[in-house]
Amino acid sequence: MRDNASSSNSGNRRDFLRGSGVAAATAVFTQTAQVGMDEAAAEALAAQGVAVQSGSMKITLQVNGQSMVSEVEPRSTLLDVLRHRLDVTGPKRVCDRSSCGACTILLNGQSIYSCTTLAVAAQGKEIRTLESFDTGPKSVAHAFHQNDGLMCGYCTPGFVTACQALLEKNPNPTLEEVKKGLDGNICRCGTYVGVVQAALDAAKAIKV
């Protein structure tokens, strides 16, 4: 019944979804897969204060200090919402399996893979992407430039973000700590020597 919003007994369900902050657009229910439980179970859960969300929903994300509103589904990844809905294209989609690091962002100050995070779960948290980072002479980005820390450049946003996260936690990393701190990112061009030196140089420059 959920794929047919004109069905006479879909009212409770839709009212409940509205109540839990979901945009209950008719088109949404015709487009999304049928999932989950029956109406009675949904109402029983709602009565116990458990909000179940499905279909299309409006969320607000705090991205680089700005509130951004987007229409998403529960299954939308944070990376796809940032890139395709909000036009925040610094984080890159490469492996989409939490293996390569190109999608790295900072969530509440912690480096994470945005490809493996649900957008809906990022509500209420501080999202920082490299668009917000300093690019001046004392920045991580500048150190990458000075050290030839890139070749094709596709991994670079992820590396710069991981490097920023490392230096915010540990302003004086040793070579070993830099290697361990950046081991969640892959560069298929093999620019690791430049990347590691950039991290060490950026640490020095930021302190001056």
Partner 1 sequence: MKAFEYVGATSVDQAVKALTPGSSAMAGGTDLMNRMKDYVTSPDRVVYLNDVKELAGISGDPTSGVTILAGTRLADILASESIKKSYSALWQTTSDVGTPQIRNMASVGGNLMQHPRCWYYRSGFGLLPKSADGKHMLREGDNRYASIFMTDGDALYAHPSSLAIPLIALGAKATLIGPEGERTIDVADLYKIPVSNTDTLFTAKPGEILKSISLPASTGKNGSFEARHKQAHDWPLVMASASLTFTGDTVSDARVAVYGVAPLPWRSKAAEEAIKGKPVTVETARAAAAAAAEGAKPLTMNAYKVAMLKTVITRTLCVTVGNRYWEA
Pairwise CA distance, residues 114 & 183, whole Å: 16
Using the rule CB under 8 A, give the single segment among 4-12, 126-134, 179-187, 196-204 that binds partner 1.
Answer: 179-187
* Of the candidate residues 23, 27, 51, 193, the single one contacting partner 1 (CB under 8 A): 51
* Of the candidate residues 104, 147, 156, 197, the single one contacting partner 1 (CB under 8 A): 104
Enumerate long-range contacts of 19-23, CB under 8 Å, 24 or more apart.
19/46, 20/46, 20/51, 20/52, 20/53, 21/51, 21/53, 21/57, 21/58, 22/53, 22/54, 22/55, 22/56, 22/57, 22/58, 23/56, 23/57, 23/58, 23/71
Q: Does 188 bind partner 1 (CB under 8 A)?
A: no
Q: Considering beta carbons, is residue 144 or 159 the nearer one to partner 1?
A: 159
* Of the candidate residues 37, 69, 189, 193, the single one contacting partner 1 (CB under 8 A): 37
Q: Which residues bind partner 1 (CB under 8 A)?
A: 32-33, 35-37, 41, 45, 48-54, 73-75, 77, 96-99, 101, 104, 107, 110-113, 116-118, 120-121, 162, 165-166, 179-186
